């Protein structure tokens, strides 16, 4: 995937243990990442834009039962999602174009609006 090519993103409102949640699927030709987040965590997505790589990250949701850590590198134009016990010793990490964050925010808002309309 080139730096300017955005991955496919979809989001759907769902529930986890009876509580409202959101499932976000991020896909490229080479990898797919499924992030499950509570509604309380969804509101944290906007804070990712100021969670600058190497200084801080925001824990939002889970991937395969492990916490997902989000951060951006504005200079490089990237969004990183790291999966593991913490944001320093993760097990899996993906780096995506920064514009992906805007697409995720849009898709999550759309999914929540359609869920509210049910």
Residue by residue, pLDDT tens for the chain (118 residues) are 555 689 999 999 998 778 889 999 999 999 999 999 998 899 999 999 988 876 789 999 999 999 999 999 999 999 999 999 998 989 999 999 999 999 999 999 999 888 765 5
Residue showing tokens 């925010």: 105
Strands, E, within the chain: which ranges?
Answer: 8-16, 19-27, 32-38, 58-63, 66-73, 78-83, 92-97
pLDDT of residue 27: 96
- As given in the structure block, the two tokens for residue 9 are 């993103």
5 closest CA partner among 32, 35, 27: 27
pLDDT of residue 116: 66
């Amino acid at each position: 995937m080139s730096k300017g090519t955005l991955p496919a993103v979809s989001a759907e409102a769902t529930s986890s243990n009876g509580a409202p949640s959101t499932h976000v699927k991020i896909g490229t030709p080479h990898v797919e990442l499924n992030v499950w987040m509570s509604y309380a965590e969804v509101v944290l997505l906007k804070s990712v834009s100021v969670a600058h790589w190497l200084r801080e990250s925001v824990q939002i949701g889970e991937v395969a039962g492990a916490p997902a850590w989000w951060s951006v590198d504005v200079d490089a134009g990237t969004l990183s999602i790291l999966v593991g016990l913490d944001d320093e010793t993760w097990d899996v990490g993906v780096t995506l174009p920064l514009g992906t964050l805007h697409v995720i925010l849009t898709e999550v808002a759309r999914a929540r609006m359609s869920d509210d309309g049910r």
